[in-house]
């Protein structure tokens, strides 16, 4: 490949929540730049369908289904990948969920589910992978944050809380693990057309508001996240650590 700073040949990447949406796009993007990828999620059939699509495109793909909100399942799954597939050089913590309702009516069980899915999973998977990376003295961890790491809007306060936590957990991981040769950064998407956001995409009033609020005046397309992910995964970001990179069409620059 002609651009060594962005060449991921010989590297293996684990992407959580990668059967669809942003996770699938990032897995495909890293594979396009030479990485072998391991897809993860809870639905084995969806993972196999995603893996089949990537394999048919000529990419090296493996699958390992485990629940990222279960600490024991995570440890077992990561150890299995390391022993049966190969070392994880790049981790993208992408698994996440959303639930929208007014804060005064927000159900307690949904609050707990958001915490487990959006922040505890990053701790569990990040810690399990980092233990192996530490012994090798190198690794890349990318946590998927959000513009809601920086902003808030009505109806998603708990989601905003979890994504703010992702930003600061990324800083904490950097503080602890940079000395071991690990770069830990966050990638923060703005509003992208994904299954998670389909209800908002279909809402003409919201889409109109978004176009006026965003300097780029449109929704993002998931492929527009690939360049940032490849940069944070490769040699080009060897001294970038604890940073949150916003890919948001400029929405965080304006009031």
Supply the residues annotated as catalytic.
159
Q: With contact defined as beta carbons under 8 Å apart, do 59 and 28 qualify? A: yes
Residue 37 forms beta bridges with which residues?
A: 13, 61
pLDDT tens-digit profile of 1-29? Answer: 468 899 999 999 999 999 999 999 999 99
CATH superfamily, with its number, for domain 4-247: NAD(P)-binding Rossmann-like Domain (3.40.50.720)
Per-residue pLDDT of the chain (255 residues; tens, 9 = 90+): 468 899 999 999 999 999 999 999 999 999 999 999 999 999 999 999 999 999 999 999 999 999 999 999 999 999 999 999 999 999 999 999 999 999 999 999 999 999 999 999 999 999 999 999 999 999 999 999 999 999 998 999 999 999 999 999 999 999 999 999 999 999 999 999 988 788 899 999 999 999 999 999 999 999 999 999 999 999 999 999 999 999 999 999 986
The domain ranges of the chain are 4-247
pLDDT tens-digit profile of 114-129? Answer: 999 999 999 999 999 9
Q: With contact defined as beta carbons under 8 Å apart, do 32 and 3 qualify? A: no
Question: 184: how many CB neighbours lie within 10 A of its CB?
Answer: 29
- The pTM assigned to this predicted structure is 0.96
The predicted structure's pLDDT at residue 165:
98
Q: With contact defined as beta carbons under 8 Å apart, do 169 and 184 qualify? A: no
């Amino acid at each position: 490949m002609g651009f060594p700073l962005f060449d991921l040949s010989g590297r293996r990447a684990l992407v959580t929540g990668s059967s669809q949406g942003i996770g699938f796009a990032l897995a495909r993007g890293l594979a396009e730049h030479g990485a072998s990828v391991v897809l993860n999620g809870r639905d084995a059939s969806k993972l196999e369908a995603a893996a089949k699509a990537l394999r048919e495109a000529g990419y090296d793909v493996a699958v390992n289904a485990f629940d990222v909100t279960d600490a024991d399942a995570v440890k077992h799954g990561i150890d299995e990948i390391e022993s049966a597939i190969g070392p994880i050089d790049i981790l993208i913590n992408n698994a996440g969920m959303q639930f929208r309702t007014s804060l005064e009516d927000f159900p307690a069980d949904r609050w707990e589910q958001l915490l487990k899915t959006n922040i505890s999973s990053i701790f569990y998977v990040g810690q399990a992978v980092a233990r192996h990376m530490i012994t090798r003295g190198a690794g890349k961890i990318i946590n998927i944050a959000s513009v809601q790491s920086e902003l808030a809007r009505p109806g998603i306060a708990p989601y905003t809380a979890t994504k703010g936590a992702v930003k600061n957990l990324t800083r904490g991981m950097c503080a602890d693990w940079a000395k071991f040769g690990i770069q830990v950064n966050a990638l923060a998407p703005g509003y992208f057309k994904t299954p998670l956001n389909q209800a908002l995409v279909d809402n003409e009033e919201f889409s109109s508001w978004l176009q006026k609020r965003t300097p780029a005046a449109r929704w993002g397309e998931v492929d527009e996240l690939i360049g940032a992910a490849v940069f944070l995964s490769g040699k080009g970001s060897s001294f970038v650590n604890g940073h949150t990179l916003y890919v948001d069409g400029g929405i965080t620059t304006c009031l």
